[in-house]
């Protein structure tokens, strides 16, 4: 199969290469083989190519990529629900060496859900990692009906989903979010009641304080000045220090049950994928997609499609 492969760690443009003849991954008993039709990039993909993050069991050469959408072409012996022909999406939580920037991926059945019919493959591939991060962080932070939320980094892959889930799923009474000037209208279109231009306003100096602050940028000290007494701060940006309460770090895990829970919101269009206007990138332009990701200026998600 064709796949993007790195054989040593380093900058993506230096070490990532297209291999036209990589071996199709072998299936373990609880896995299905997915013909990948679309994939999406996340900042962790860059960190893994660079070698900044190494999971247990990782070895080189490796294929990057967590998110995928595609069709099941083969099932392992212990697979219980999925069958050949199912249209699925999800993210490879335990991706060790074989990722989703490839024609085929062997994925645990438990990480995959049936693709909502309303979504095209590219749209579905944009969701799994970020929507589960957004949902899990809001749940752990205790956002519930009638509470207020401030999102730091509202225009990114995770932030665009946090805003929508907070309003549509958790019933937040008020959602504020930060971005640069050109993205404020997007934040409002996603449901933000207050869009804060971080190039002009220090959010922590506003008189309004929030029940929950969701930090996707790494601004935990400033977040502490924007939270109400008794509120909580969730950050998904790893810090090399102990976080002072009420701040805590949340790390996503892959679980089809969150995708299943959110399916009605995706089928009804109440929660929508947000895909950067420069996207999708065809498979052959994965390196261009990575270099755009690394600018940290992408709006919503960068999708690789067709594969």
Q: Does 65 bind ligand NDP (CB under 6 A)?
A: no
Rounded CA-CA distance 138/133 in Å is: 8
Structure tokens at 306: 């067709």
Rounded CA-CA distance 76/137 in Å is: 32
> x/- contact string, 180-199, with ligand NDP (CB under 6 A)?
x--x--------------x-
Query: In the complex with ligand NDP, which residue's Cβ is closer, 194 or 237?
Result: 237
Q: Does 153 bind ligand NDP (CB under 6 A)?
A: yes
Of the listed pieces 67-75, 108-116, 150-158, 167-175, which binds ligand NDP according to CB under 6 A?
A: 150-158
CB of 253 to ligand NDP, least distance (A): 8
Query: In the complex with ligand NDP, which residue's Cβ is closer, 31 or 179?
Result: 179
Q: Does 46 bind ligand NDP (CB under 6 A)?
A: no
Q: Does 100 bind ligand NDP (CB under 6 A)?
A: no
Rounded CA-CA distance 33/106 in Å is: 4
Kindly tell me which residue out of 42, 148, 164, 254 binds ligand NDP, with binding defined by CB under 6 A. 42
Number of Cβ within 10 Å of residue 188's Cβ equals 15
Residue partners of 38: CB distance under 8 A and separation at least 6: 68, 69, 70, 121, 122, 124, 125, 280, 303, 304, 305, 306, 307
Query: In the complex with ligand NDP, which residue's Cβ is closer, 7 or 296?
Result: 296
> x/- contact string, 274-303, with ligand NDP (CB under 6 A)?
-------------------x--xxxx----
Residue nearest to ligand NDP (CB): 156
Kindly tell me which residue out of 237, 243, 248, 270 binds ligand NDP, with binding defined by CB under 6 A. 237
Kindly tell me which residue out of 178, 232, 254, 279 binds ligand NDP, with binding defined by CB under 6 A. 178
Strands 194-197 and 247-249: unpaired
Q: Does 252 bind ligand NDP (CB under 6 A)?
A: yes
DSSP annotation of 267: H
Rounded CA-CA distance 252/270 in Å is: 23
Q: Does 155 bind ligand NDP (CB under 6 A)?
A: yes
Of the listed pieces 94-102, 125-133, 206-214, 226-234, which binds ligand NDP according to CB under 6 A?
A: 125-133
Structure tokens at 243: 């976080």
Of the listed pieces 70-78, 100-108, 138-146, 172-180, which binds ligand NDP according to CB under 6 A?
A: 172-180
Structure tokens at 2: 């064709």
Query: In the complex with ligand NDP, which residue's Cβ is closer, 38 or 293?
Result: 293
Rounded CA-CA distance 199/196 in Å is: 9
Query: In the complex with ligand NDP, which residue's Cβ is closer, 114 or 275?
Result: 275
**Residue for token digits 């609880």?**
30
Of residues 202-231, which lie at the interface with ligand NDP (CB under 6 A)? 216-217
Farthest CA pair distance, the chain = 59
Q: Is 173 left (phi over 0), alpha (psi -120 to 50) or beta?
A: alpha
Residues binding ligand NDP (CB under 6 A)? 42-44, 129-130, 133, 152-153, 155-159, 178-180, 183, 198, 216-217, 236-237, 250-252, 293, 296-299
């Amino acid at each position: 199969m064709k796949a993007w492969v790195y054989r040593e760690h380093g900058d993506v443009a230096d070490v990532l290469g297209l291999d036209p003849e990589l071996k199709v991954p072998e299936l373990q008993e609880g896995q299905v083989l997915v013909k990948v039709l679309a994939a999406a990039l996340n900042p962790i993909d860059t960190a893994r190519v660079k070698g900044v993050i190494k999971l247990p069991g990782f070895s080189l050469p490796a294929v990057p990529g967590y998110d995928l959408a595609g069709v099941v072409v083969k099932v392992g012996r212990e697979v219980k629900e999925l069958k050949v022909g199912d249209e699925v999406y999800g993210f490879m939580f335990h991706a060790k060496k074989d990722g989703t920037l490839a024609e085929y991926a062997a994925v645990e059945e438990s990480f995959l859900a049936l693709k909502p019919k309303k979504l095209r493959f590219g749209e579905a591939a944009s969701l799994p990692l970020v929507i589960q991060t957004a949902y899990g962080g809001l749940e752990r932070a205790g956002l519930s009906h009638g509470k207020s939320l401030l999102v730091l980094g509202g225009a990114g892959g995770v932030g665009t989903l946090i805003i929508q889930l907070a309003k549509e799923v958790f019933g937040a009474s008020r959602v504020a979010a930060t971005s640069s000037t050109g993205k404020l209208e997007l934040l409002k279109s996603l449901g933000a009641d207050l869009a804060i231009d971080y190039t002009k306003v220090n959010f922590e100096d506003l008189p309004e304080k929030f029940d929950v602050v969701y930090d996707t940028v790494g601004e935990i000290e400033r977040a502490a000045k924007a939270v109400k007494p008794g509120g909580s701060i969730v950050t998904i940006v790893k810090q090399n220090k102990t976080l002072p309460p009420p701040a805590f770090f949340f790390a996503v895990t892959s679980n089809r049950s969150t995708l299943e829970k959110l399916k009605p919101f995706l089928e009804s269009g109440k929660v929508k994928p947000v895909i950067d206007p420069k996207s999708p990138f065809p498979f052959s332009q994965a390196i261009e997609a990575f270099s755009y990701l690394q600018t940290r200026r992408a709006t919503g998600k960068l999708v690789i499609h067709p594969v």
